[in-house]
Amino acid sequence: MDLSKKLTLESVLEGQVLLFDKPLNWTSFQVVNKVRWLLKKKFNLKNIKVGHAGTLDPLATGLLILCTGKMTKKISEYQGMPKTYTGCFLLGATTSSYDLETPIDQQFDTNSITAEQIEKVRKQFLGVQQQYPPIFSALKQQGTRLYELARKGEEVKTQAREITLYSFDLESVDFPTLHFRVQCSKGTYIRSLANDFGKALNNGAHLTQLRRTAIGTYTVENAISLEDFEVLLM
């Protein structure tokens, strides 16, 4: 993403689509706030509209689309595009958050799992299906984020939603770790996919690594790091 010539005050206010490679342990909102601060500082603005087009969990990296100015009106269009992810499932253990945010709460014997079973389960998840979001998510229950309730130990209920997996491939198996690539619809939680995959094996699984590589035709190869963006604005 070459911004060296087109990132001007006029272009930022009129609206820019910025592709960022979100770093590990940053929230999507932290990236938005950082970019907004950098733009305000660079162009001496009191305020500038900046929003992201699809949350990435803090433990995930990869493509985050940000829109500035008038382009924020089109955020919903980018949110509706198919997403592509790569990452890892670890079989034999579950966590309440379905990833590494919370400690392992249950362990399973994986010795009886075969390659044939894994392949059969993989095929089961292709296409349209119902998925329950994790209780550790940014969805709201009576105005409160679910993860806030879950961290307090309060009861959290989620409702199933229709999602689609357009493709779901296991690129390699380093048992009990499965390396996957998935292209999916808006609203898909890869953490839930990991948990459901373990259940389908009559076992357990959780997400240990996640990277978003594409949103529609936009790819992480064309994204910029926060560090490089900051240097660009100097």
Closest CA to 75 of 34, 18, 23: 18
CB-based burial label for 175 (10 Å; 0-12, 13-18, 19+): exposed
Furthest C-alpha separation in the chain? 63
Closest CA to 57 of 17, 102, 5, 15: 102
Q: Using N-to-C axis directions, what is the helix angle for 115-124 and 190-200, rounded to 10°?
A: 130
The number of C-alpha atoms within 13 Å of 139 and in the hemisphere containing its C-beta is 17
What is the H or E stretch that residue 132 is in? none
Active site residues: 57
> How is residue 195 annotated by DSSP?
H
Question: What sections of 109-189 are H helices per DSSP?
Answer: 115-124, 146-151
Tally Cβ neighbours within 10 Å of residue 147: 17
Gyration radius from the chain CA atoms: 19
